[in-house]
């Protein structure tokens, strides 16, 4: 197949490119080498890949790269929480306008292949919970009073009793709670609308959980917690955990995420729909930090410092059953071994700070 990978020079995209190219597919990449994530050209670029340096908001870049492609794997995206609301236009431009421009060119060129979209678990907002009395419930955002008082666990909106975290399934209601999350929901809707209006097009949205692994950008305002902790250890400082360290997440290795993309792109019958992409083995933040710190050595231990970030959700853990059954996805990297590799993998060069 000939496959266009947007963001193919980046953290996840480059692993998708490796896996497709190694399997004999012809890969074209669109990437703008965003200076917030890259300090020049990364050293994992490949001679057997056709890189088009440009931005996904530029229709001419899509027009040059898309002809002849059987599939588009859309990874290019501005990620994370950003600095503050002033970042909103940049997120919407890069993620939503970029997607709309690509789809408009796909329409113009009568593209009729597959679209695989990098989405995120942030579209769910606070994860899934059960109450002993009221079964499945959806707690509202945690209040400042509760967070200030160290009451971190969401409580049942009906009886105020503590809740048990559950595994989120793909049909959970969407509840984006930050700008990035809102742009991911919009990307999913734009792609689905395109598919409805273009017979033959299949859209697969992969909702990534907390991805980590080699090539991850080092600590920036846009980085997730695994990168922040890895950067801290590299500087000889302890990872600092907010709240009580009991937040639950699903840390999934980048190679497993790349494999989910490969499966969605190349399975003989296009598999449309939405899929959680996670390891299927959630952990607390403290467990992850301990595994990482232990593997790093040098005696640094994680420190639970308390405090909170207002936009954070408490627990988000996913059911991967649908991806396992429909895509044949089999995550293979266990937390301990993945963190051991991550603890010593070279960090990506520091990007230019704003
Ligand atoms: C993260 C990403 C989100 C992405 C999602 C799935 C960010 C900011 N968030 O969401 O974009 O879609 O994974 O891949 O990139 N924490 C600490 N100490 C720190 C930093 C964070 O304890 O120094 C805690 C936070 O309070 C939170 C948890 O770690 O409880 C996870 O934080 P983070 O990785 O930033 O956000 P996610 O909500 O998991």
Q: How many angstroms is it from 81 CA to the middle of ligand 1?
A: 8
Structure tokens at 311: 């936009």
Neighbours of 210 (CB within 10 A): 20
| Whether the CB of 251 sits within 6 Å of ligand 1 | no
Structure tokens at 115: 């679209």
β-sheet bridge partners, residue 210: 251
Shortest-distance Cα residue to atom 13 of ligand 1: 210
Structure tokens at 7: 């963001």
Q: Quote the DSSP letter at residue 95.
A: I
Q: Quote the DSSP letter at residue 120.
A: E
SS3 344: helix
Name the H helices within the chain.
Answer: 11-22, 59-65, 88-91, 98-108, 144-148, 179-197, 225-234, 254-266, 285-296, 321-322, 335-344
Tell me if 296 sits within 8 A of 340, measured CB to CB: no
| Whether the CB of 224 sits within 6 Å of ligand 1 | yes
Structure tokens at 296: 């790093």
For position 221, what pLDDT does the model report?
65
189-193, long-range: CB within 8 Å, 24+ apart, which pairs? 190/96, 190/99, 190/100, 190/103, 191/74, 191/99, 191/103, 191/115, 191/117
Structure tokens at 235: 């500087």
Q: Looking up tokens 């997120």, which residue turns up?
A: 91
Cβ neighbours for 113, distance < 8 A, ≥ 6 positions apart: 69, 70, 71, 72, 200, 201, 202
The residue to mutate among 207, 224, 285, having the most atoms of ligand 1 within 8 angstroms of its beta carbon, is: 224
Shortest-distance Cα residue to atom 28 of ligand 1: 225
For position 351, what pLDDT does the model report?
58
Q: How many angstroms is it from 283 CA to the middle of ligand 1?
A: 14
Q: How many angstroms is it from 226 CA to the middle of ligand 1?
A: 8
Cβ neighbours for 243, distance < 8 A, ≥ 6 positions apart: 152, 285, 306, 307, 308, 312, 314
Q: Looking up tokens 């009729």, which residue turns up?
A: 112
Closest CA to 61 of 30, 93, 26: 30
The residue to mutate among 147, 218, 225, having the most atoms of ligand 1 within 8 angstroms of its beta carbon, is: 225
Tell me if 333 sits within 8 A of 256, measured CB to CB: yes
Q: Looking up tokens 């970029």, which residue turns up?
A: 98
For position 269, what pLDDT does the model report?
82
For position 354, what pLDDT does the model report?
41
Q: Characterize 308-326 residue by residue with b for buried, 16 or more Cβ atoms within 10 angstroms of its Cβ, and e for exposed.
A: beeebbbbbbbbbebbeeb
For position 350, what pLDDT does the model report?
60
Q: How many angstroms is it from 224 CA to the middle of ligand 1?
A: 5
- Which atom of ligand 1 lies closest to the CA of 232? 23
Q: How many angstroms is it from 310 CA to the middle of ligand 1?
A: 12
| Whether the CB of 209 sits within 6 Å of ligand 1 | yes
Q: How many angstroms is it from 306 CA to the middle of ligand 1?
A: 15
d(CA 212, CA 203): 25
Closest CA to 208 of 155, 267, 168: 168
| Whether the CB of 276 sits within 6 Å of ligand 1 | no
Q: Characterize 244-268 residue by residue with b for buried, 16 or more Cβ atoms within 10 angstroms of its Cβ, and e for exposed.
A: ebbbbbbbbbbbbbbbbbbbbbbee
Q: Looking up tokens 């590299």, which residue turns up?
A: 234
Q: How many angstroms is it from 37 CA to the middle of ligand 1?
A: 17
For position 352, what pLDDT does the model report?
52
- Which atom of ligand 1 lies closest to the CA of 241? 22
d(CA 179, CA 80): 9
pLDDT tens, N- to C-terminus, the chain (354 residues): 999 999 999 999 999 999 999 999 999 999 999 988 888 899 999 999 999 999 999 999 999 999 999 999 999 999 877 778 899 999 999 999 999 999 999 999 999 999 999 999 999 998 899 999 999 999 988 999 999 999 999 999 999 998 999 999 999 999 998 899 999 999 999 999 999 999 999 999 999 999 999 999 887 766 789 999 999 999 999 999 999 999 999 999 999 999 999 999 999 888 899 999 999 999 999 999 999 999 998 889 999 999 999 888 999 999 999 999 999 999 999 999 999 999 988 777 665 544
Q: Quote the DSSP letter at residue 158.
A: T
End-to-end Cα spacing for the chain: 39
Tell me if 74 sits within 8 A of 162, measured CB to CB: no
SS3 207: strand
């Amino acid at each position: 197949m000939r496959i266009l990978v947007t963001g193919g020079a980046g953290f996840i995209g480059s692993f998708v490119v490796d896996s497709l190219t190694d399997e004999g597919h012809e890969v074209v990449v669109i990437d703008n080498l965003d200076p917030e994530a890259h300090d020049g050209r990364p050293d994992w670029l490949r001679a057997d890949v056709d890189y088009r340096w440009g931005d996904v908001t530029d229709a001419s870049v899509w027009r040059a790269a898309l002809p002849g492609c059987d599939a588009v794997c859309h990874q290019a995206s501005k990620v994370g929480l950003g600095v503050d609301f002033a970042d909103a236009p940049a997120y919407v431009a890069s993620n939503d306008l970029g997607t709309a421009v690509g789809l408009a060119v796909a329409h113009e060129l009568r593209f009729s292949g597959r679209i695989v979209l990098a989405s995120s678990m942030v579209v769910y907002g606070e994860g899934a919970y059960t109450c002993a009395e009221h079964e499945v419930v959806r707690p509202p955002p945690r209040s400042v009073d509760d967070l200030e008082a160290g009451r971190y666990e969401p409580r049942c909106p009906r009886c105020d009793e503590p809740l048990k975290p559950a595994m989120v399934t793909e049909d959970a209601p969407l509840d984006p709670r930050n700008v990035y999350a809102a742009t991911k929901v919009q990307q999913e809707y734009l792609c689905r609308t395109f598919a409805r209006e273009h017979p033959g097009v299949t859209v697969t949205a992969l909702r990534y959980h907390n991805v980590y692994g080699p090539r991850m950008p080092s600590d920036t305002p846009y980085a997730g917690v695994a990168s922040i902790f890895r950067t801290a250890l590299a500087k000889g400082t302890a990872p600092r955990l907010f709240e009580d360290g009991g937040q639950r997440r699903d840390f999934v290795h980048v190679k497993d995420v790349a494999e989910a993309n490969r499966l969605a792109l190349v399975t003989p019958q296009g598999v449309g729909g939405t899929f959680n992409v996670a390891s299927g083995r959630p952990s607390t933040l403290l467990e992850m930090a301990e595994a990482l710190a232990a593997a790093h050595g040098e005696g640094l231990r994680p420190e639970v410092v308390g405090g909170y970030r207002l936009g954070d959700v408490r627990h988000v853990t996913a059911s991967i059953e649908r991806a396992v059954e429909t895509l044949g996805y089999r995550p293979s990297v266990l937390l301990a071994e993945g963190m051991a590799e991550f603890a010593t993998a070279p960090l990506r060069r520091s990007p230019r700070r704003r």
